[in-house]
């Protein structure tokens, strides 16, 4: 009986002849990695080395380990940061986390209650007048927790807590953390596979015949030693100031320094209890004559906050923001003095809107992902989410490549698919930032005026007036500006204040302020070219179509099976009827192995394509299965049809659709006919779609499709 090859090491070189032809090239670092090449000198050799142990790097290491790819991670810091940083996890990222050994369920269990973070609040102080608020979980349309468009909801969970959970998941699959004091002085002191090496500062990259030789400095507690590590592929997930990006000579394109801020991480259970009972929310935009800031409530129950304060160097210096000064600002913004404020950390940062000019360098051996490849304004929460989705796209391609199934050219499809998404998300984040700034502008605190004043002072006084005088001038002008939000002006009895408050209410009611959820962009992004096959339906090449809409015109997600799209979510039930619970169509794709899924209706021509798919999967040494989508109410006897149609293969599943809306089938929801067949990639995106009656030679067509997806008919760049 034909079998599904799983891509294990035992048959590593029993690959499809096209893939083997690529790997046999003597100068291929991937061939050296697969064959156990020793690299340069005595440097340990790894198929994949990841630089950066943030969420993006850890997710990639988890996925690669699951797919049987040996890797290691190096991290410059000697310990993991406790600064909360990112905190919003969108639908698509939570869908990915569902398949990381239950990570999404852990997040849902440990995150704060939804009622404590569903709102953005605009106020004069945390205990003062509420100017307005927006409930982002209100029960209408797609902005709720009914799980209509996704099997899981968004989450609010601090980045350091996410890292803690990821480390536990990695431990569960044999991936350990090694701290500097545990590291010997010899380069060959231990096997480095499946380890996170802390305190390793990447200092050099050298391209070799076998890949990349990485130099790192390590302080092991006794002395600083230099370590050499050799890898076939180097993945830079080392953040916005990526050392890998710098060493690879990759530049960023876009806008820099949109705003400079100071981030203050502090604890106050008093404040947490007060806000929980009086005005819960995730973000608090605070404007008063004494101070302006945005407070992120990471965890009201435990009183954990991050305050973002705009600052304007060189008149205002980061060194001016001592813990005492920050506590004074906190008191001004709270409106009363909490007794237990504890400032934990103060960091400066700059807001950028940039994307790397390229994601891949050094003969396909150096790859960027996450903030190393793109830097967004935080408005909309796309930064970490886009990074996690980067490596979800990359991991399956690395898996098939390093298992000898795909051509090295498949790495280029990572850039062609993910870079346009980053560019779009950059533009959207800038628009979101402008939307956020429309609120203070409406209140008479236009940030563009503040920036203009700052620039004028720099140009006119910067070189001739002492800094302390410049600082006094700047802060005096800013103080005059903040008077616009005094109680004297900002009230219903003042004509100017009344008009401004009315405009503010209009902005909030019309959804023109900063939003939390973006279903269309979160779930509806579509790859236009890459590891996929453009479909031809009638006279229209759907893959060539571009989504044309204003970034903020409509945020409604419309289910689509256009090639390049994420597979839509619908609940289904396995057939024949069993005690198994219902599950999502997204769960048809395995999270534990590299598997393609063909979704088809029970039709004669479709079964022919299904048989061809299973046969070609064996030929290409791929894992694949067929899902036969039956209408609701199908009997067990009817399901027997697929057994005879798909024999001798057994790698198929029958499911019964469970549409939410009466009369709306899977095919109707996707707006395609039942003649359609859909090939889904391991990352749950549509790789190919056609109508069964348009295929004349099923085996030849499916062979062409897999060859194209695996890039076996393309030349390596």
What is the distance between the alpha carbons of residues 526 and 420, in angstroms, rounded to a whole number?
Answer: 10
Q: Which of 345, 277, 300, 327 is nearest to 85 (CA)?
A: 345
Burial code (b: 16+ CB inside 10 Å, e: under 16) for 354-388 equals bbbebbbbbebbbbbbbbbbbbbbbbbbbbbbbbb
Domain with CATH 3.50.50.60 in the chain: 28-34+43-111+157-184+192-215+228-251+357-408
Q: Between the CA of residue 185 and those of 180, 196, 403, what are the distances in Å?
A: 10, 17, 33
pTM of this structure:
0.91
pLDDT in tens, 229-244: 999 999 999 999 999 9
Residue 112 has pLDDT above 80, yes or no: yes
Taking residues 607-624, what's their average pLDDT?
96
Question: If DSSP codes are grouped into helix, strand and coil, which group holds residue 25?
Answer: coil
Give the pLDDT confidence score for residue 676 in this predicted structure: 95
Q: How many CB atoms lie within 10 A of CB 231?
A: 28
**Pair 159, 86: CB distance under 8 Å:** yes
Q: What percent of the chain has pLDDT over 70?
A: 88
What is the distance between the alpha carbons of residues 282 and 115, in angstroms, rounded to a whole number?
Answer: 10
Q: Which of 84-88, 133-137, 455-459 has the lowest mean pLDDT?
A: 455-459
Quick one: CATH architecture of 255-352+437-509?
2-Layer Sandwich (3.30)
Residue 154 has pLDDT above 90, yes or no: yes
Share the mean pLDDT of the chain. 88
Show the DSSP H helices in 99-142 as ranges. 103-110
> Residue 594 — left, alpha, or beta (φ > 0 → left; ψ -120 to 50 → alpha)?
beta
Residue 204 has pLDDT above 60, yes or no: yes
Q: Which of 704, 629, 622 is nearest to 666 (CA)?
A: 629
Taking residues 571-586, what's their average pLDDT?
87
Backbone angles phi, psi at 596, to 5 degrees: -95, 150
Give the pLDDT confidence score for residue 627 in this predicted structure: 97
End-to-end alpha carbon distance in the chain: 39
Query: What's the CA dihedral at 282, 286, 290, 291 to 10 degrees?
Result: 70
**Pair 566, 681: CB distance under 8 Å:** no
Residue 517 has pLDDT above 50, yes or no: yes
Give the pLDDT confidence score for residue 561 in this predicted structure: 96
**CA 89 to mean position of chain CA atoms:** 8
Residue 5 has pLDDT above 60, yes or no: no
Residue 76 has pLDDT above 70, yes or no: yes
Exposed/middle/buried for residue 287 (C-beta within 10 Å: 0-12, 13-18, 19+): buried
Burial code (b: 16+ CB inside 10 Å, e: under 16) for 686-707 equals bbbbbbbeebeebbebbbebbb
pLDDT in tens, 205-225: 999 988 999 999 998 777 888
Exposed/middle/buried for residue 714 (C-beta within 10 Å: 0-12, 13-18, 19+): middle
Give the pLDDT confidence score for residue 148 in this predicted structure: 86
Tell me which residue has tokens 């005595």: 42
Query: What's the CA dihedral at 131, 134, 138, 140 to 10 degrees?
Result: 110
Give the pLDDT confidence score for residue 186 in this predicted structure: 47
Taking residues 12-35, what's their average pLDDT?
41
Q: What angle do CA 201, 205, 210 make, to 5 degrees?
A: 125
Residue 542 has pLDDT above 60, yes or no: no
Give the pLDDT confidence score for residue 537 in this predicted structure: 52
What size, in residues, is the chain? 717
- Is beta strand 686-691 parallel, antiparallel or unpaired with respect to 623-630? unpaired
Residue 20 has pLDDT above 70, yes or no: no
Domain 526-709 fold is Glutaredoxin (3.40.30)
Strand partners, 162: none
Binned at pLDDT 50, 70 and 90, residue 10 comes out as very low
Strand partners, 219: 224
Q: What percent of the chain has pLDDT over 90?
A: 74
What is the distance between the alpha carbons of residues 257 and 349, in angstroms, rounded to a whole number?
Answer: 9
* Tokens encoding 38: 């020793």
Q: Which of 384, 306, 391, 394 is nearest to 344 (CA)?
A: 306
- Is beta strand 119-123 parallel, antiparallel or unpaired with respect to 366-368? unpaired
What is the distance between the alpha carbons of residues 240 and 85, in angstroms, rounded to a whole number?
Answer: 13
Give the pLDDT confidence score for residue 475 in this predicted structure: 81
Give the pLDDT confidence score for residue 541 in this predicted structure: 36
Relative orientation angle of helices 91-98 and 103-110, to the nearest 10 degrees? 120
Give 717's Cβ-side CA count (13 Å radius): 16
Q: What angle do CA 551, 553, 556 make, to 5 degrees?
A: 95
Backbone angles phi, psi at 225, to 5 degrees: -120, 155
Give the pLDDT confidence score for residue 388 in this predicted structure: 98
Give the pLDDT confidence score for residue 630 in this predicted structure: 94
Give the pLDDT confidence score for residue 145 in this predicted structure: 53
Strand partners, 411: none
* E-strand stretches of 543-651: 571-575, 583-584, 595-600, 623-630
Taking residues 355-381, what's their average pLDDT?
96
pLDDT in tens, 272-293: 999 999 999 999 999 999 999 9
What is the distance between the alpha carbons of residues 579 and 322, in angstroms, rounded to a whole number?
Answer: 61
Binned at pLDDT 50, 70 and 90, residue 543 comes out as very low
Tell me which residue has tokens 């390596």: 716
* Tokens encoding 607: 């079964």
Residues ≥6 apart with Cβ < 8 Å to 431: 551, 552
Give the pLDDT confidence score for residue 221 in this predicted structure: 72
Taking residues 246-269, what's their average pLDDT?
96
Exposed/middle/buried for residue 187 (C-beta within 10 Å: 0-12, 13-18, 19+): middle
pLDDT in tens, 648-701: 999 999 999 998 766 689 999 999 999 999 999 999 999 999 999 899 999 999
What is the distance between the alpha carbons of residues 659 and 712, in angstroms, rounded to a whole number?
Answer: 39
Give the pLDDT confidence score for residue 12 in this predicted structure: 28
The dihedral built from the CA positions of residue 344, 76, 253 and 313, taken in this order, carries a sign that is positive
Residue 139 has pLDDT above 90, yes or no: no
Domain 28-34+43-111+157-184+192-215+228-251+357-408 fold is FAD/NAD(P)-binding domain (3.50.50)
What HEC string does 39-94 produce?
Answer: CCCCCCEEEEEEECCCHHHHHHHHHHHHCCCCEEEEECCCCCCCCCCCCEECHHHH
Omega prior to 314 cis, within 30 of 0: yes
Domain with CATH 3.30.9 in the chain: 255-352+437-509
The dihedral built from the CA positions of residue 320, 324, 327 and 332, taken in this order, carries a sign that is negative
Domain with CATH 3.40.30.120 in the chain: 526-709
Residue 448 has pLDDT above 90, yes or no: no
């Amino acid at each position: 009986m034909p079998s599904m090859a799983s891509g294990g090491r035992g048959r590593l070189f029993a690959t499809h002849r096209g893939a083997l032809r690529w790997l046999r090239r003597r100068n291929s670092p991937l061939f050296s990695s697969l064959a156990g090449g020793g690299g340069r000198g005595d440097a340990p050799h790894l198929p994949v080395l990841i630089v950066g142990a943030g969420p993006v790097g850890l997710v990639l290491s988890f996925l690669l380990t699951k797919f049987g790819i040996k890797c290691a991670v190096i991290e410059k810091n000697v310990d993991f940061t406790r600064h909360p940083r990112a905190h919003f996890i969108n639908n698509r990222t939570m869908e990915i986390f569902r398949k990381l050994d239950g990570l999404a369920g852990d997040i849902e269990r440990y995150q704060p209650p939804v009622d404590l973070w569903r709102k953005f609040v605009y106020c004069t102080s945390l205990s003062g007048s509420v100017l307005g608020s927006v409930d982002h979980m209100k029960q209408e349309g797609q902005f709720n927790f009914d799980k209509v468009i996704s099997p899981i909801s968004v989450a609010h969970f601090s980045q350091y807590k996410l890292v803690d959970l990821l480390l536990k998941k990695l431990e569960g699959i044999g991936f350990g953390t090694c701290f500097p004091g545990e590291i010997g002085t010899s380069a060959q002191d231990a096997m480095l596979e499946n380890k996170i090496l802390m305190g390793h500062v990447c200092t050099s990259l050298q391209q070799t015949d076998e890949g990349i030789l990485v130099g790192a400095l390590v302080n092991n507690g006794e002395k600083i030693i230099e370590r050499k590590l050799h890898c076939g592929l180097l993945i830079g997930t080392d953040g916005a100031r990526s050392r890998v990006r710098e060493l690879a000579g990759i530049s960023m394109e876009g806008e820099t320094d949109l705003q400079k801020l100071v981030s203050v991480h502090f604890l106050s259970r008093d404040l947490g209890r007060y806000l929980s009972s009086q005005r819960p929310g995730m973000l608090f935009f605070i404007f008063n004559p004494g101070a302006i800031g945005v407070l992120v409530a990471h965890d009201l129950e435990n009183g954990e906050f991050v305050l973002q304060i705009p600052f304007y160097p060189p008149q205002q210096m980061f060194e001016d923001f001592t813990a005492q000064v920050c506590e004074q600002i906190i008191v001004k913004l709270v409106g009363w003095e909490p007794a237990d404020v504890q400032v934990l950390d103060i960091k400066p940062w700059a807001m950028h809107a940039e994307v790397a000019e390229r994601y891949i360098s050094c003969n396909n051996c150096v790859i960027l992902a996450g903030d190393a490849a793109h830097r967004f304004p935080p408005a909309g929460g796309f930064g970490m989410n886009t990074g996690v989705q980067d490596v979800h796209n990359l991991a399956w391609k690395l898996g098939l490549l390093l298992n000898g199934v795909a051509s090295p050219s498949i790495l280029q499809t990572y850039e062609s698919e993910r870079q346009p998404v980053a560019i779009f998300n950059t533009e959207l984040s800038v628009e979101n930032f402008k939307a956020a700034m429309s609120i203070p502008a409406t209140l008479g605190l236009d940030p563009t005026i503040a920036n203009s004043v700052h620039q004028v002072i720099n140009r006119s006084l910067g070189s001739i007036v002492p800094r302390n005088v410049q600082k006094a001038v700047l802060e005096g002008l800013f103080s005059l500006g903040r008077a616009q939000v005094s109680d004297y002006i900002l009230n219903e009895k003042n004509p100017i204040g009344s008009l401004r408050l009315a405009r503010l209410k209009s902005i909030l009611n019309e959804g023109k302020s900063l939003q939390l959820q973006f279903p269309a962009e979160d779930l509806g992004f579509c790859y236009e070219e890459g590891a996929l096959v453009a479909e031809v339906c009638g006279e229209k090449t759907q893959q060539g179509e571009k989504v044309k809409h204003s970034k903020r015109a409509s945020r409604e997600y419309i289910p689509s099976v256009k090639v390049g799209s994420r597979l839509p979510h619908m609940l289904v039930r396995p057939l024949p009827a069993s005690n198994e619970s219902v599950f999502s169509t997204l769960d048809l794709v395995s999270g534990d192995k590299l598997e393609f899924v063909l979704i088809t209706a029970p039709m004669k021509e479709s079964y022919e394509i299904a048989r061809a798919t299973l046969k070609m999967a064996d030929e290409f040494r791929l894992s694949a299965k067929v899902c036969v989508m039956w209408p609701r109410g199908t009997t067990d006897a009817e399901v027997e049809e697929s057994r005879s149609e798909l024999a001798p293969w057994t790698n198929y599943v029958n499911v019964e659709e469970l549409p939410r809306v009466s009369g709306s089938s899977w095919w109707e929801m996707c707006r395609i006919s039942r003649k359609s067949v859909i090939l889904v990639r391991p990352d749950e995106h549509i790789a190919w779609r056609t109508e069964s009656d348009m295929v004349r030679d099923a085996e030849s067509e499916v062979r062409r499709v897999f060859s194209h997806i695996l890039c076996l008919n393309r030349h390596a760049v």
